[in-house]
Amino acid sequence: MLKKLFQGLKALRKGDQDPDWEFDERRELVRMRCHYDVEYRFKDKRHKGIIVDMSLGGMKLRCFQPPAVGDTVEITYEVPAVNIQNQTVPCKVQWVRARDRDFVQFVGLAYDATDEVLRNSWVKMLLKQLGFRPDKIFQRRKYVRAECFVPVRVVYERVKSFDGRLYNLGARGALIEGQTPVEQGEFVELHIGPFEELPHFEVSGTVVQKTNQHKNVLLGVEFGELSDRATQNLGQYMRHLLLNHWEA
């Protein structure tokens, strides 16, 4: 998996295609950690659960009453949202796993709806909040992300800056939490780390998404052209985070 990760980083930087990196394997990496309370229904019974990661192909449900592999489950996100037509999205159960230390169950779900339904659902809204570009949400793309809570300094308008936390770091961008709103389209410099044994490094990019969350702001930043050093450092971070900070 790590070999494919670095091949992907190089391909992303050069704009090359990597035919050896199959979509099924990419999909395993294209996951973004989250915490959304939902209601799920199967066999005419309703239960409460939590979506703990999402991707372009599906999501992971944490629950206590799991459905069986092959079941169709209706997932409802109950938080009202503007312009959302489909509050419930059908999914197909791909796998079910129990956590050893308690009674928690994890359920792998694949979206069982058309792209048109998903575009008008809470799935699109939450993926946008998590930092996916709106025009790429339902396209297969190379995108590697790992959850992290890394310190980052965001420099904007050339001289202004604030300190935040880098929630997700990916080959194409990052999701940052801070208390300073930066407008979409703003050019920013990110001073990332140091983090554990990883070095400090810098990348630049553009704010493509801004979402208010309680007292903070979530900023989705798309990277610009990466230098050789930034590509190397990004690979080091991704390898370390995938090995040490990717637990259920």
CATH number at residue 89: 2.40.10.220
Instruction: Please state the domain count of the chain.
Output: 2
Is residue 231 included in any domain, yes or no? Answer: yes
Q: Side-chain half-sphere of 192: how many Cα atoms within 13 Å? A: 31
Question: Of 71, 101, 136, which residue constitutes the final position of a domain?
Answer: 136
Written in H, E and C, the secondary structure of 32-65 is EEEEEEEEEEECCEEEEEEEEEECCCEEEEEECC
Helix H or strand E encompassing 54: strand 45-54
Which 8-state DSSP code applies to residue 15?
A: T
Q: Which of 136, 164, 196 is the last residue of a domain?
A: 136
Same domain, 121 and 204: no
15 occurs within a structural domain:
no
In this structure, the answer to whether residues 130 and 167 fall within a common structural domain is no
Domain carrying residue 76: 31-136
Give the end of a domain, one of 111, 136, 161. 136
Q: Is residue 44 part of a domain?
A: yes
CA 236 to chain centroid: 19
SS3 at position 50: strand
Instruction: Show pLDDT as tens, one digit a residue, over the chain (248 residues).
Output: 445 444 444 444 444 433 332 333 333 345 677 888 999 999 999 999 999 888 777 899 999 999 999 999 999 998 877 778 888 999 999 899 988 777 899 999 989 988 888 888 898 888 877 766 554 444 433 344 455 578 999 999 989 999 998 877 877 888 888 888 899 999 999 999 898 888 999 999 999 988 887 788 889 899 998 888 998 888 888 777 765 654 43
37 and 125 within one domain: yes
